Amino acid sequence: MPLQIDKENSSDRYVVSVHGEVDLYSSPELREVLTGNLPSGVGSVCVDLSGVPYMDSSGVATLVEGLRAAKAASVTFVVVAPSAQVRKVLELSRLDSVFEIRDAL
Amino acid sequence: MTRDDIHIEIASDARLLCALRALIKTYVGLQGFPVERADEVVLAVDEACTNAIRHSYGGRPDQAIVLTLRSLSDGIEIVLRDDGTPAPRERLAPRELVPPDPGTVMPGGLGVQIMYRVFDEVTFEPGEGTGNRVTMRLKRPPVRDAM
């Protein structure tokens, strides 16, 4: 099923809220947003995953690409409110320590 | 040979993965695994299918993936077969994942390593000319005595 991705730019924060399951089929959609141009002047990208019940390794790879893109633009990249399943896949990928993870926006 | 509990063929279309996940989750729950374990199994089987779609079939959505699920005396066995390009053996070896420097390193082959971490036993059998077969086994959790 396709994802729903809402983008909101408030003060210096760019909030990307993802709704749906992120897998091989849907991750390109998220990749497009996370590696696309950032709104000018933002200091951080917050990827709100509270609406993501499931993510596979292609989703994890997509988050890593987003992190790289943010770093290249000297912008902080934050993963917000991952579900237990998303935390698990980050952990199994040994990438949980690579991301700044927050419980809420 | 005991009979398979479930034997299905699905098209190598990434759109179908969500339907497959629902099936696996229900089956693994039925086999007495707790929800967290079932979620891990769903992920690992999803990764196996993703590899078949991406690597064996190069993203072609109209090829066949055959999946069998069966109950063993001490657990479950899930076998996935495809008729695509055999995977190079070096991609299939277990390795230690170290947190990469995200500035330079892209994670690759993550799916295979997730499969090794989730299952007790994973056997890859890339075919000589064509096809791949991967067998994944997981022991059932011990049954608690009724109080």
ipTM associated with this complex: 0.93
Q: If you average pLDDT over residues A75-81, what whole number do you get?
A: 97
The beta-carbon neighbor of A25 closest among B17, B111, B118 is B17
pLDDT digits (tens, 9 = 90+) for A17-69: 999 999 999 999 999 999 999 998 899 999 999 999 999 999 999 999 999 99
Query: So what's the pLDDT on residue B145?
Result: 58
Query: So what's the pLDDT on residue B89?
Result: 85
Test the B interface: residue of A94, A95, A98 with most B CBs within 10 Å: A94
**CA–CA separation, B38 and A67 (whole Å):** 29
pLDDT digits (tens, 9 = 90+) for B64-109: 999 999 999 999 999 999 999 999 888 888 887 766 655 444 556 8
Query: So what's the pLDDT on residue B44?
Result: 98
**CA–CA separation, B111 and B130 (whole Å):** 21
Q: Above 90 in pLDDT, residue B1?
A: no
Query: Could you say which DSSP state residue B121 is in?
Result: E
What residues 49-108 of chain B have any CB closer than 8 A to a CB of chain A?
50, 53-54, 97-100, 102-103, 106-107
Q: Do B47 and A95 touch (CB under 8 A)?
A: no
**CA–CA separation, B22 and A82 (whole Å):** 20
Q: What is the mean pLDDT of chain B?
A: 90
Residue B118's closest chain A neighbor by CA? A92
pTM of the model: 0.92
Looking up tokens 């509990």 gives: B5
